[in-house]
Structure 1
Amino acid sequence: MKTRNDPKGVSTPETETPMPPLNRSAFKKLPIWDFEDIYNQDAPPKQKTCAQSLRNSQDESFKKAFLPNIRLYMHKDNINMSEWNRLSHFNNPFGFMGFQYKDVMEAVKLIPKPKEPLFIAKPGSDGCVRCAVVGTGGILNGSKMGKEIDGHDYIIRMNGALIKGHEEDVGNRTSVYVHTAHAITASGYFFKKYGYKSAPADEGIKYVMIPEGLRDFQWMTGLLKRERVAAGQYRKSRPWTYYSGQFDEGRFYVLHPDFLRYARNRFMKSPNLEKNFWAMVRPTNGAFAIFMALHTCDIVSAYGFMTEDYMKYNNYYFETGKTHVIFYANHDYILEKNTWKKLHDTKIMRLYQRIDSETGTEKQKKL
């Protein structure tokens, strides 16, 4: 059954005040609004010249779900009061449900409009943008995939992207680092014992933020004002120090709630959204990074993500000793595993997969 929006709450251009915050606890499962599957889209980019682009896929289910012009980024010029009220119907990170207007908009009004696309084709190339999305899965330990990963035009990493000492397996370049405030701060704490010191800070790197919750907007306010965080979990923190001198507003992007909701609704809609803990359920940062790549690159390869034989590998590629993949309740890892396999099997992207080492010398299944 669809949950219909009260006409008094429907946002219109004439609306001058924010609607009262909705309480997530009032819903026993994900509420489905009449406008649930309606998203902002931007003007089409210039015509692609890459013949092998995933946008040319003939897979019917992908073509039906894929919106090549979905609005990727949120910034100060595309959130007005009407948009605020619309997005206030969706829980974070898919919207602003339960948030106070002033607490979030202080940050949003500071987010610069991106000055350039996240990626462009390299000069002298065939027009194709080739991207590697590198997760932290234990499957990469001993993979010797580093050279192949570095051979891509752009490399996207996220979370605890520990590179030093693991270059042979994971490469040594980073073009884009995808993160939340929690990921960029907690990684230093959790992975210090493995040699992790900071998020990647290659010269010219671009940073993409997932606005996961109120703490992320508080983080962005401090980051973009170059001031200590004023309130919340990171109060008194100095966010810009976590980017090792490479933070530049012109290379900072914030994923739009519409894009995050679209990726969930059309590709990764977990049955757990029907349960009473629905509000905490969302795709992983790595999953959002893959879908960002599918909308900004022509050819995508994913490394370090869950495969059918995930139980053979450690949770992280940099761990010593034997560990196991940890399943947290807010993510549906099996759904994501099946999604990556489907995208691989339908040739939308290429997923790095190990094979049984006893069967031969090949290191991965080829398309």
Structure 2
Amino acid sequence: MAPPVQHGHSSLKKGITKPMAEHTSMNTVPKQPALAAADSPVHEENGQLLGATDIRSLAEHANIKPTKKLGQNFVIDPGTVRRIVRIANVHPASHVIEVGPGLGSLTLGLLEAGATVHAVEIDPNLAALLPQTVEAHMPQAANHLKVINQDALTFKPQDCPELTEQTSLTLVSNLPYNVATPIILTLLERFSNLSSFVVMVQKEVADRLVAGPSSKTYGVPSAKLAWYGQANLAGRIGRHVFWPAPNVDSALVSFERRAPLQSESERQETFHLIDAAFAQRRKTLRAALHGLVEPADFQQAAIDPQRRGETLSIQEFVRLSHYSASSSQDRVEAARFKRG
């Protein structure tokens, strides 16, 4: 399983035991006891981010045990956190969606860069603890944190209307292997102003997201993500930067959105063809898309029906979908005329 992002740097300022700064929590979550500065040592060389000792202290203090089910592997290396923030080009004007903030390592790195962070956390205990961690380590940035205690797959614009008011959003997260692709595609579909992302995922997942036609790892995630824009590998991440260490290596994927290739209805039709083409990966397009695409549609789209879906670029899928939808509409109109 790929680890969800929790990134590190350490330093609690001694004597910080003041109450939480004002923050927004979209759902009510149970409060955790405030973390005293003495619970974690100060590491001045790491600024205000969380290090390995801080992460373990926070988890112990809140009685949090990382679970495989939620893909909880916390990043304990401050350098990795700042590397992610740098690659994502986060700056004071950035509005960032962070899925799975966990104990707050990456959250603090994003806040350190001046961003406003909208943290979507499914675990109510972690959601309750996060504002207190920020208050203890980076109180001056506490009002730039918005916590949403919710499953990212159910997260919609109406759950946080201020996100729709922004010209541009970026997703910066470490995502669990089993839900990484659905989360990415769901957020891109729901938030048209989500213009970029940098995510940490299992290396195998990263390879699938950035794969091109005819490669071994090219598939449904590759083609659908390509509809929205351009994804690239942005670096590998070793296992030693996590606690607990996962059994797999991770990688960073960066993404830039482009203007839509077609309308939303045409996107849905294209995705339907992609799903069908890869459901029977070893079959030819003629066989895999039987009943969905007519022989004449292949001819009009200038696509050989003997090819396999794994050889088609997203532009070719879009073109085939266009002619298929057009001929289908013509058949509907002809049938209606005949009945009339």
Larger radius of gyration: 2
TM-score by length of 2: 0.30
Q: Which has the larger helix fraction?
A: 2
Q: Which has the larger strand fraction?
A: 2
TM-score by length of 1: 0.28
